[in-house]
């Protein structure tokens, strides 16, 4: 079964993805993480993605869908995946539904995390991530034990380049313009469950897990 974690930037998709993927027994596929990995490795795709990420814009659909297609063809994706940060445009959701339909697949659940814009701006301003392993923190709500050092791997904990205030505003505008309309398409194709994303990490996690289908 496939599942989608949906919601604006900063709504907590990345925070909850690991436990949701584990509960569903499927791998976590986050397009933003894949682009950041390419960026770090200095690949051509990474260079291309950076030019869009730095402006808070979407990487072109054809590039993103090709990337997802090759990820879905890997052996561990055969039983479905948890999408995080994808689909993010109407073209992407239409491509995904077509890809799944051609293979007898479907989306079993879409978890739509609801968080107001004002809270998002505040959350992202404090968001920090480890350059080594990608673990996420929050400067105030969930800091690492030692400032700037990852609890998990000892790597540098920094603010993401695209979490600066101006780029965040662009990302929110991009979400409203290009990503929000995806929800209507998903509602026509899969069970979509709205979940209140405001509150502590554990409280939201419990709400998310409560709406997951039981295997
Ligand atoms: P995220 O980590 O999901 O917030 O993604 C960071 C950035 O990567 C986004 O602002 C986009 O520039 C790019 N990106 C991630 N996922 C997608 C996608 N599905 N389509 C297009 N661009 C994406």
Distance 61 CA to ligand 1 centre (A): 11
What percent of the chain has a predicted confidence (pLDDT) above 90? 86
In this structure, the number of other CB atoms found within 10 A of the CB of residue 130 comes to 21
pLDDT of residue 98: 98
Q: Is 64 in the pocket of ligand 1 (CB under 6 A)?
A: yes
Q: Are 120 and 8 in contact (CB under 8 A)?
A: yes
Ligand 1 close to Cβ of residue 137 (< 6 A): no
Interval between CA 53 and ligand 1 midpoint (Å): 7
Q: Is 88 in the pocket of ligand 1 (CB under 6 A)?
A: yes
At 215 the pLDDT is 64
> How far apart (Å, rounded) are the C-alpha atoms in residues 122 and 136?
15
Q: Which residues of the chain have pLDDT under 50?
A: none
How would you label 150-178 residue by residue, b for 16+ Cβ within 10 Å and e otherwise? beeeebebeebebbeeebbeebbebbeeb
* pLDDT tens for each residue of 76-85: 999 999 999 9
The tokens for 118 are 């004002």
- Helices 44-53/61-72 angle, 10° precision: 130
Q: How far is the CA of 196 from the centre of ligand 1 (A)?
A: 22
| pLDDT tens readout for residues 113-126 | 999 988 998 889 89
């Amino acid at each position: 079964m496939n599942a989608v974690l949906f919601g604006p930037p900063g709504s907590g998709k990345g925070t909850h993805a690991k436990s949701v993927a584990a509960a569903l027994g499927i791998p976590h596929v986050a397009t933003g993480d894949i682009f950041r990995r390419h960026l770090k490795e200095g690949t051509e795709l990474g260079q291309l993605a950076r030019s869009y990420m730095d402006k808070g814009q979407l990487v072109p659909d054809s590039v993103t869908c090709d990337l997802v297609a090759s990820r879905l063809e890997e052996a561990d994706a055969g039983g479905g995946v948890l999408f995080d940060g994808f689909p993010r445009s109407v073209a992407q959701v239409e491509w995904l539904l077509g890809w799944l339909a051609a293979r007898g697949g479907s989306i079993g659940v879409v978890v739509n995390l609801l968080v107001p814009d004002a809270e998002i701006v505040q959350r992202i301003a404090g968001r920090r991530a480890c350059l080594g392993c990608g673990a996420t923190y929050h400067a105030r709500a969930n800091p690492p034990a030692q400032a700037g050092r990852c609890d998990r791997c000892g790597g540098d904990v920094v603010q993401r380049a695209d979490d600066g205030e101006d780029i965040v505003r662009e990302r929110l505008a991009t979400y409203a313009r290009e990503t929000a309309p995806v929800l209507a398409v998903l509602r026509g194709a899969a069970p979509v469950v709205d979940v209140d994303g405001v509150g502590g990490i554990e409280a939201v996690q419990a709400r998310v897990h409560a709406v997951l289908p039981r295997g």
